[in-house]
Amino acid sequence: MYAPERQQRIVQLATEHGRVEVPSLAEDLGVTQETVRRDLSLLERAGLLRRVHGGALPAGGLRLEPGLVERDSVAAAAKDRIAKATLALLPEEGSLLLDAGTTVSRLVALFPLDSTLTVATNALPVAARLAEHPRLTLHLVGGRLRHRTQAAVDTWALRDLAELQPDIAVVATNGFSPEGGLTTPDLAEAAVKRAMVTGARRVILVADSTKYGAHHFARFASLEQVDVLVTDTGLTAEQAAEIAARGPEVIRA
């Protein structure tokens, strides 16, 4: 395990359990306690953890960006429910713009093989699934590939998106909140998501409840720009009401 992977795992464990201890981390990760202490110091300087005696607590601030495999394993059952609820919102005909994200990938896996939708996407996993639908018209948004998310970004992607006015954009996010809006760790990915939101006639945000309250480096939209939020019942009724007050319809699947 490389150091960035190890440090990402430490942050994940701290978030899941509320605290991490140096001895148990050293044993679980197969490194010395001194290596763990150095990792904790680095993560504290980055604002990701808060050191305490014998370990660390989650800082509740900015987070390391997870990879596709890790993201897909988080809230898997909730993402399946969100995908099914989102499918019910889509028309049988018309144009869609699909963002990168594990929930979006689960959504397109539910598309019927005889779908006649027109779809544009910057996400390789999404495009690969839709390529099996013979009656669907698929457009690939080009650009530099971000390997972490397998999404096309940068100038070419933004140029392509500027020419599109889809009926619906289905957008994913790494974090959302009434105050912070929609955020993601990467500036290039944020620019693409921003273009998707501004170009679509209707915006559907798909985000499981674990992302509520998370704040990341780059903000790409406000909740007022979202028409529908599809999430899960981990988002409380009070939180849903607070979001709905900003404009979006909230569906808790």
Kindly report which listed range (9-13, 68-72, 140-144) carries the lowest average pLDDT score: 68-72
- Is residue 204 within 8 A of residue 165, CB to CB? The reply is no
Q: What angle, 0 to 180 degrees and rounded to 10, lies between the N-to-C axes of helices 33-45 and 22-29? A: 110
Question: Do 141 and 86 belong together in one domain?
Answer: yes
**Same domain, yes or no: 145 and 33:** no
Report if pTM > 0.85.
Answer: no
Torsion of CA 83, 84, 89, 90, to 10 degrees: 70
Residues 41 and 135 in one domain: no
9 and 123, same structural domain?
A: no
Residue located via tokens 């007050």: 245
Specify if 29 maps to a domain.
yes
Sign of the alpha-carbon dihedral angle for 238, 242, 243, 244? positive
Taking CA atoms, 154 is separated from 14, 72, 181, in Å, by 33, 24, 22
The pLDDT value given to residue 73: 47
- Domain match, 146 and 214 both: yes
Mean pLDDT in residue range 241-247:
97
Residue with tokens 């999430």: 231
Co-location of 209 and 107 in the same domain: yes
pLDDT of residue 65: 54
Q: In this model, does residue 47 exceed pLDDT 80?
A: no
Tell me, yes or no, whether 226 lies in a domain.
Answer: yes
Q: How many domains does the chain have?
A: 2
Domain-embedded: residue 97: yes
* 9 and 84 both lie in a single domain: no
Answer yes or no: do 77 and 173 share one domain: yes
Are 219 and 148 contained in the same domain?
yes
Q: How many CA atoms lie within 13 A of 42 on its CB side?
A: 14
- Asked if residue 44 and residue 18 are part of one domain, the reply reads yes
Alpha carbon of 48 to those of 5, 44, 61, 216, 246: distances in Å?
14, 6, 6, 11, 29
Q: Give the end of a domain, one of 58, 80, 105.
A: 58
By residue range, what is the domain housing residue 44? Answer: 3-58
Q: Last residue of some domain: 58, 84, 100?
A: 58
> Per-residue pLDDT averaged across 27-50, rounded?
88
DSSP 161-224: HHT---SEEEEE-SEEETTTEEEES-HHHHHHHHHHHHH-SEEEEE--GGGBT---SEEEE-GG
pLDDT at residue number 8: 83
The mean predicted confidence, pLDDT, of the chain is 90
Asked if residue 76 belongs to a domain, the reply is yes
**More reliable by pLDDT, 4 or 219:** 219
pLDDT at position 62:
45
The reported pLDDT for the residue numbered 40 is 93
Domain check: are 182 and 234 in the same one? yes
Domain assignment of residue 19, yes or no: yes
Residue showing tokens 């020419």? 163
Model confidence pLDDT, tens digit, residues 85-132? 999 999 999 999 999 999 999 999 999 999 999 999 999 999 999 998
Q: Tokens for 68?
A: 């596709």
We report the CATH number of the domain holding residue 122 as 3.40.50.1360
User: Using one digit for the tens of pLDDT, what is the confidence trace for 156-215?
Assistant: 999 999 999 999 999 999 999 999 999 998 999 999 999 999 999 999 999 999 899 988
Please indicate, yes or no, whether residues 169 and 229 belong to a single structural domain of this protein: yes
3-state DSSP assignment of residue 52: strand
The Cα–Cα gap between 229 and 112 comes to 23
CATH number for the domain spanning 39: value is 1.10.10.10
Q: Residue 7 domain-assigned?
A: yes
Residue 36 has pLDDT above 70, yes or no: yes
- Domain assignment present for residue 63? The answer is no
Residue 55 CA to residue 146 CA, distance in Å, equals 33
Asked, for residue 195, whether it belongs to a domain, the answer is yes
pLDDT, average across residues 240-246: 97
